[in-house]
Each structure stands twice: as structure tokens, then as C-alpha cells.
A = this chain, B = another copy of it.
Amino acid sequence: MKFVGKAKLLKKQIINEENFRFVIKRSDEMGCVYPGQFFNVSASKVGYPMLKRPISVSDVGEDTIEFTIKIIGEGTRAMLDYNEGEAVELMGPLGNGFEYGGYRKILVIGGGIGIAPLKGLINSLKKTEVEIHSVLGYRDAPYLYEDFAANSAICEIVSENDEQYNRGYVTDPVKKMLESEVYDMIYVCGPYPMLKNLTDLFNSKGFRAQLLMEEKMACGIGACLVCTCKTKNGDFGFKHSRMCKDGPMFYSDEVIFDE
């Protein structure tokens, strides 16, 4: 079930200089919304920029949906201008989210704004009995970590620039954890180089992870073929899979990273 239309912005909250949160009224027409899925959100009321922006669900409430948005360019900057109480044009839920039924011990690895969709994931898991280990990487000061800290047996935070935390990239703690722990599933979301480096690591160690990937999108539903990534097909072949429709979740052993 896909909703196409306007939904009320119930709450707008500034997280820090770069990030903000939208809580949107969830309507019945949206049906079930799963972590890892996304909505295509109109950047402004005047219809500029033209294309809707894909934004992951970062939490789902009884009748709310939460988005956590990082200001990147003119589209996300424009979104910040919606006022509480106004209607936001959007479409969704879209794509295939995470698969998470039946796992007992999982590792979630997020980088920057890539932490947002994982927050939705762990908040869906809480109720069941899952042991969560988290590794969160930031460029500067951490944010969005509270739910991870509260719900994870282990929660490692690294930052490239904030001296209060372990300096470096998520790959460092992950390497160590993969040596001592066994996980039923690993979930990753973050920038392309991080996904690529971790996938190399997983492949070399025989782990399989669910990656939430990102690409520029237009239709958001699988019709226009502008959002493809290379995935394996047969023993030596590849195909171009649609990030929006076949993903955005792909298993780490499916994806072919370029360069």
C-alpha cells in the first residue's frame, strides 16, 4: 500500500546545526511501515527543487512517522522551512526495508545520518528478545545515539573529530567485535565508502550483512531506472538493480561496489 498525498507535520525539532527531525501524521492509507523503508518527500511547497527527496523512516509510532534529516543541499535545506501544522507532500512507504525476524543477536553499524534508519530498526526490535550491539560513527559530536545506548548490550561510539570519543572510523571497533562475537545478522547504513570497506571486511571474514544503500532517485518506485546499483547475477554476471524498488536494503554478498 502506498500513500501519495499530504500528511501533517506534527513536530519539527532541531537536533543540531546539520540535522533536524520531522514527526509526521501517519495515515491508515500508508499501511504497515517497516524500518529501512523510505518516503519520497517534497522539498518545498512551491515545488522547487522539482524531485522529491528520499528520506528513511527513523521511527514509527502508533499514528506517527519520524524522519531524521540532514541538511545536505538545497532540497533538505528547503525542508527545514515547513512549519508545524502544515501539510507535507510525500509518497510511501517505499522500497524493501530490513529483514529482522528471528535473529537473537545482531550488530548494527551506522555512520552519520545513516544512523537514522537503524534507530527505527532497533526500536522495532526492543519488544522481542534480541541482543543488540551497536557501533556508531560520527564526524563530529554524536547525536541520535540515545536509543542505541539504552537498548544495546554494547554501544561503541567513534568520532573523527570529537576528542571525547574514540577517534577513527567504525571499521576499527567492528573488526575487533567480529573477532570475539558471533552475530545472527549485521545491519549497516552509512556513506558509500563505509559500506564498501565493511563489505570487503564481511566478505573476507564470511559474514553477511544487510546494507541500506543510497542513490539519487526520481520516481522512487522502480519505473525510471535512474537509481540502479550493480548486483551479482549468476556466477560471473551482474545486473542493474533498482535501489528504490529492489532495495534500498541489499545483502552484502549481492552488491558489486565500483572502484
Contact = CB atoms under 8 A, between A and B. Distances in A.
Interface of A: 43-49, 74, 78, 81, 83
Q: Which of A46, A74, A81, A83 has the most CB of B within 10 A?
A: A46
Contacts of A45: 78, 81
Contacts of A48: 44, 46-48
Majority-rule SS of A interface residues: loop
Contacts of A46: 43-44, 46, 48-49, 74, 78, 81
A12 to B, nearest CB: 12
Nearest to A49: B46
Contacts of A81: 45-46, 81
A87 to B, nearest CB: 12
A1 B78 CA distance: 32
Given A47-B48, A48-B48, 14 more contacts: A43-B46, A44-B44, A44-B46, A44-B48, A45-B78, A45-B81, A46-B46, A46-B48, A46-B49, A46-B74, A46-B78, A46-B81, A81-B81, A83-B83
Contacts of A43: 46
